[in-house]
Structure formats: structure tokens, C-alpha cells
A and B are shown apart, each in its own frame.
Chain A
Amino acid sequence: MSSEPVVVGADEGVAAARSSAFSRLAVLTLHLVRRQGRAMVVWGVSLGVLGALYVAMYPSMSAQVNEYMSQLPEQYTQFLGITGGVNSVETWLAMEMFNITAPLALAFLPILLGARAIAGAEERRGIDILLGNPVPRWQVVASAYLGMALELLVVATLLAVITWLPSLALDAPLGVAHVAAGALNLWPFCLFFGGLALVVSALVRRGALAIGLPAAILVAMYVINGLGVSPRPSTVCGLSPSSTTTARPSRMASPG
């Protein structure tokens, strides 16, 4: 146990404390990503396993699914992002996974991360220590967004790989590009909601609101999207950004 006093000049600590904005941003971002390591694996593997199950089920269900789809109203198949029937595993995956389930589920990861970044940290009294360091507030917000983007990318990659692997056992395996496109489509979509949660979190500083507001908008978008393709077209259809998302996988289903 050492108890000798260490005499230092008043500015010694300051001189040693010079750290560029970029390196601080990188340190903060990597710290956040590292902290979420387990969550990334859980989300990526869970959604990936779900995708793999859909792929594995396709050969035994394709005939029944096509018959079922042919009986659905055109507006409903349009809502699912499918036009022209489920004629491949890619279309099936797009309908079941990438159009509805994955965007709805995965968007909650960045929403939770965004809400926790400022409001959650304040509520847990975790931000005081962080802001006791020479870190500008914009870097705290920017690193939260960058960290969220990286984490989503990891989750999307895991999802794509785990979904694709069982298709190797099929007669016509999934194209890597198709799965990658489907998974990567989720990235900007989910990032938008994470960003929204982060903005609400920083402005309002209430965790529940930072989660609730983006989540409500996410669900409302799907509802509006459904109304948009209903037999009586509603004026609200133009408000739904998710109509773009639902259209993409259907393109994925019939490449080239």
C-alpha cells in the first residue's frame, strides 16, 4: 500500500488529457457497441433462427401457400408486398420475414437503444459520470447513433447468415444477394426509428416517451399502409413510408 504524495503541476493532468474529438467519438462508439455485444447476438440469432425456420418450412408448404394466396384479396397480397404468387423461397421469405415480422421486431432494438442513450441514462443516473469527462454533448448523441448503426449492421448480418445457411439443403438455395438485400433493407428502416427515439430521448429526456412515441409511429405506419391498399383507397396511403419497405422485398422475389 503506497501512501507517498505525488507532486504534480496543475496542468500536468490537462496536458495528458488532450484527446482528439475523433478518437473520443470512436472510444464512445466502440464502448457502446461492446456493451451491447450480448444483445446483438440475441437479436441476430433469434431473428436468424426465425428466418431459417421459414426457409426450412418452404418446401413442404409451398403448394398450400400458393393455393391460400390465390384466394386472398389482391389488396391484402399487395399489403404483404407479394404480387404474382409465392413462386420461390425468396418470395416466401420476403412475405413472412422481411415485409412484416423482421422490420416490426427489429425496429425495437434501436428504439430501445436510442431511448436509453440519453433519457434512460439520465433516469439511471448514469450520464452524470460520463458527462464529468471532457466529452461534448454532441459526441454523446453522435456516438449513440453510430453505435446503434453498427449494432444494427451486426444484427442484420447475423440474421442474413443464419437465414441463408439452411437453404443450402434445398434444391434451389437462397441467393446470398437476395438475403443480404432483404436484411440490409432493414438497416435504414430500423435506424430511422432508432434516430427518432434518440431525438425524443435527448429533447424530452423521458425514457417511456422516447420508446412509446417511435413505437406508436412504427405501428401506425403499418396500419396506415394497410389502409392505403384497402379496397377504398384512403388519402392516408401517401403518408406511409413503410409502403416503400414492403415493396422492396417483392422486387427481391423476382430478381432480374
Chain B
Amino acid sequence: MTSCTPTSGKATVFGLDSRRQSVAIRERVGNLPGEFALDDRLTGEELLRFFGKLRGVDDLSYGHRLAERLDADLSRPMRRLSRGNKQKIGLVQAMFHRPPLLILDEPTTGLDPLVQEAFLDIVQETRAEGRTVFFSSHVLSEVERVCDRIGIIREGELAALETTASLIKKRLRRMTLRFAEPVDASLFAALPGVEEARQDDEAVVLTVRQDLDRVVKLVAQFPLEDMELDRPSLEEIFLTYYGGSSS
């Protein structure tokens, strides 16, 4: 987290220099790397106690409550846990000491939907307590739910920093339509708000930026068999709106 040597410039967290005062920063930060390994021979409970001792935290009750809410098994050695269960232990170790700042890299990776919900609840509570959570994700729905602001990093640079609301306004929708009879995709291409309309086998695939109402009304004029509506990923939104430039 603070182990990278800058090629130039400097970084500060809570006004502390990331190189010279990295220990002080790490006292205030809970960190979950994207890829990590925990000691295979130790159980979650043993690891929690170890990290507690390192941080001088004697009261592990919050950690135990987090483990309960995330359905993390603290009694089994790491080698006997699945990827998702290890991820839960990783989340608990990042959060058990209630740091003012949490940095979580793809925290929901490997978690089942129920646990993802529980985790997002915890993030919202953390936010409500006035603490800050940074997390990286490619899943728009979870970002929408808990984030106030979204930063897009491209090739190591902050390409965009927007509120979630403004990014959602830019959201595209991808519609895949299957009709009972052939329909010319160019009919849809002529509609305002339709970015792209193409024929894909027997389906018409549309990329719609806005004015969904007109599209639906045109679709209703033909015998429709099936319709799929996909949400694009943040990456797709980024590529659409920021393209090759990083402005």
C-alpha cells in the first residue's frame, strides 16, 4: 500500500507523507489487496488475534461481529477455506480495528450474493459513521449503491472523477431484441438517442443513450419474442464517454 517508491512527486494521506510516515498512515488505514495470501496453517481467529496484537487492539468484538455478518468461519485454517471464504477473512482483517480509512481492492470478488449484500451494508454503515471507504470495482450496481464519488483510473492516471449521480446520467443501455419476423435495424438507428443499431444473427442489438421511450414505442410496432436489457460496466461507460483520450 505504501511500499511503492514514487518515480516523481509525493503522496499524502491524512496529511502524512506516504514514504516517511507510512507507519502512521497504516495505523489509520485498513487495507485489502486485490490478491493476497494469508498464512495457510493459521485459523481466521488466530490471524485476527495476530493482527490485533500488531495494532495494539485488544477488543476483537467488532471483528467477531463482522465475521458473523459476513458468515466467515474463523475456526478453520486458511488452507481449508475456499477463495470466497478467504476473502471474507481478508475483509474482516481490513475492518476489525475500525480505521478512519478503508482501502479495498475488488472487495466483493468471490463472495456470494447474500454476503455481498451484507458487505455493502457494512460499507454504508462505515460511511454513515463518517469514515471513508475507497474501493475498486467493475460492478456498476454496487458502486451505485454505496459510492458518493467515482474515480476512473486509466494507465495509472486519474482520468475522471465524478459524483455517482452524474455518471449514472451517462449510462448506456444495451438492448437485444428478437422479433417473430425480420426487422431492419436501420429503423432504430434513425431514432434520436440510439448510439448504435446492428443486426446480430436474428437479433437487433441497440446501444441506447437516452430517450428509451421512443425505442420502446417503435419496438411495440413489431411482434416481439424476447428482449434483454443489459447494464454496461463502468469500463464500458468510461470507454464510451472518455474514449481514447484521458481528459
Contact = CB atoms under 8 A, between A and B. Distances in A.
Q: Name, among A12, A16, A23, A135, the residue most crowded by chain B CB atoms within 10 Å (CB to CB).
A: A16
A26 to B, nearest CB: 9
Contact of B100 (A14, A18, A28): A14
B79 interface: no
Contacts, number: 109
Interface string A8-24: 10111110111100011
A82 B127 CA distance: 73
Given A16-B57, A27-B50, A6 B98 contact: yes
B56 A10 contact: no
Interface of chain A, main secondary structure: loop
A35 B42 contact: yes
B97 to A, nearest CB: 5
Interface in A100-134: 124-126, 128-129, 131-134
Contacts of B57: 13, 16-17
B231 interface: no
A126 B23 CA distance: 18
B54 A24 contact: yes
Contacts of B173: none
Contact of B55 (A31, A131, A133, A136): A133
Contact of A129 (B3, B53, B56, B93): B93
Interface range on chain A (Cβ under 8 Å from partner): 20 to 34
Interface range on chain B (Cβ under 8 Å from partner): 35 or more
Interface in B13-67: 23-24, 26-33, 35-39, 41-42, 50-51, 53-59, 62, 65
Given A3-B125, A14-B99, A128-B33, 11 more contacts: A5-B125, A5-B128, A10-B100, A16-B59, A126-B38, A131-B3, A132-B1, A132-B33, A134-B24, A134-B27, A135-B26
Which 9 residue pairs of A and B lie closest in terms of their CB atoms, listed nearest first?
A19-B56, A132-B31, A5-B125, A128-B33, A10-B100, A134-B27, A13-B98, A126-B37, A134-B26
15 contacts: A7-B129, A8-B131, A10-B100, A13-B57, A13-B100, A16-B56, A17-B27, A23-B56, A35-B41, A126-B39, A129-B31, A131-B1, A132-B29, A132-B31, A132-B32
